Amino acid sequence: MNRRNCHSLLQNCNNLEQLKKIHGQAITLGLHHLQHLSCKILNNYAKFNKPIEAQKVFNYQINEPDIITWTSLITLHLHIDQPFHALCVFSKFILLGLKPDSFSIVGALSACGRTEDLKHGKMVHGMIYRHDLGSESIVGNALVDMYSRNGEIRIAQLVFRMMGTKDVVSWTSLLHGFIKCNDLGSARNFFDRMPQRNSVSWTAMITGYVQGGKPIQALEVFQQMKSKSNDLPTATMIVAVLSACADIGALDLGRSIHGYIEKNNLYSDATMYNALMDMYVKSGSLATAQKIFKEIVRKDKFSWTTMISGFAVHGYGSGAIQVFSDMLKSGVDPNEVTFVALLSACSHAGLIDEGSKWFDVMSRVYFLEHKIEHYGCMVDLLGRAGRVEEAEGFVKRMQIEPDAVIWRSLLSASLVHGNFRIAETAGKKIVELEPDDDGVYILLRNIYCSEHRWKEASETRKKMNDRKIKKKPGCSWVEVDGVVHEFIADDKIHCLSNEIYSILERMAEF
């Protein structure tokens, strides 16, 4: 093999084993110290995501790496999710006096975005003007993305407006920025104004709605995409839509998406299985979730946790404990979320001794710190069993400050079991922590009225009026023929509201 043949082989190299053989022959023939050849070898290792091998070639075979080689190393670190190392590489070649090109600048901006390093991001921005690299759209897109990831949405908008050529990536980068800043209103307005959309922008808007607690809107965007676009759903989008279906119990739509997954064989990893299991569990179809669980060849801790949680929400405490036991036998260690699911199962099934045991095992055996959710499960466990005073003592002994959720759990249990003293204490604590919670004022007022404490009841009502607190209207969802309908109390925005109220009035006559 000579130098020309080696270059040709590297050019057509399509797997790691072949690359290692070419590299070995180059070393044997003494060709590995040739600058261009070593750069090609490094670039190929980077292509196959082999950072250690690429770094060795860089350190020991390349005396004067060119800008392409430095950029390959930056890109490699970004690809394997090491943005800090990517930024270090960029800094090194800048200190050596090399002039960055647009590709290395994009890599540096991406690293600053992922590490949320606004200071260095602004320094890289300065280099763009210094080296006259701002005219290329990929650089503008990277700037918008960097500022968006760092929460500087106004600067991102300014950069976007100053860009000459804006492609779909430019628009999507700023869309991501609005979503990251949790400004879903601006995100949707911007999304609707986009001249062109792709699967990434559709996914961003759907995922943003799901993460923002707006599952109905997420499903509306998904249906819009199916009717108005030829873009195919991405795996990330499907997982997000399944999560939205799970949140509102849209079983029919969830089943149709399951069919799409089966038809297109989209089971890329356990994530898709886990999303399907979660959807079926929350939609009331535990048996289907179990069937999917058994199909997973490599179950991760999220798979096990989802199944434990499934048994928990359906009240099968012993089933959850059995799955947890199987999880430990399989060699998969539980995490904090797993123990939340397990303790919740014990709570729903009234397994006080089991719950107490696993609460202790969590910290003593697995060295996991008790979080507020774990304390909440224990309070709920004791409260459901009627041991309200014991639950109150547990709250007082907590090693972290109890939040409103803890006190609300204690309040609920106290009301169920008629302990108005503890209920009043818990209610007052909730008012201190969340003074705008309308529900707790109403509950406190009802407690005072039931005990004929009219003065306290009047004072509670006055506090509501002084703070201008009004009872939030109830909300419910109903799925009919794959379409989810949202209903809010006393609201008439539904397209069939006149017919619905007419039927309700007729029903009220009987």
From the list 382, 374, 368, the residue with the least C-alpha distance to 405 is 374
Residue 387, burial from CB neighbour count under 10 angstroms (0-12, 13-18, 19+): middle
Rounded to whole angstroms, the Cα distance separating 227 from 70 reads: 45
Q: Tell me which amino acid residue 47 is.
A: K
What is the distance between the alpha carbons of residues 291 and 301, in angstroms, rounded to a whole number? 17
Cα angle 420-314-241, degrees, rounded to a multiple of 5: 110
Burial of 509 (0-12, 13-18, 19+ CB in 10 A): exposed
Residue type for 287, please?
A
The domains of the chain are located at: 473-510
How many whole angstroms separate alpha carbon 395 and alpha carbon 67?
Answer: 61
Q: Which residue has the tokens 């939205």?
A: 244
User: pTM of the entire structure?
Assistant: 0.73
H/E run at residue 211: helix 199-211
**What pLDDT does 482 receive?**
56
- What pLDDT, on the 0 to 100 scale, is given for residue 464? 73
pLDDT at position 46 is 75
How many CB atoms sit inside 10 A of residue 129's CB? 9
- The pLDDT value given to residue 110: 94
Q: Which residue in 171, 200, 173, 161 sits closest to 113, CA to CA?
A: 173
Q: How many residues does the chain have?
A: 510
DSSP tag of 476: E
Residue 1, pLDDT score: 54
Per-10-residue mean pLDDT, the chain, length 510: 67 78 76 70 78 77 79 84 91 90 94 94 93 87 92 93 88 92 93 93 95 92 89 90 91 90 81 92 92 91 94 90 94 94 91 92 93 93 92 92 90 86 86 78 80 80 68 59 61 67 67
Count the neighbouring beta carbons within 10 Å of the beta carbon of residue 500: 14
* Integer angstrom CA distances of residue 119 from 64, 82, 87, 147: 29, 18, 12, 11
- Please report the pLDDT score of residue 322 as a whole number: 94
Contact 86, 111 (CB under 8 A): yes
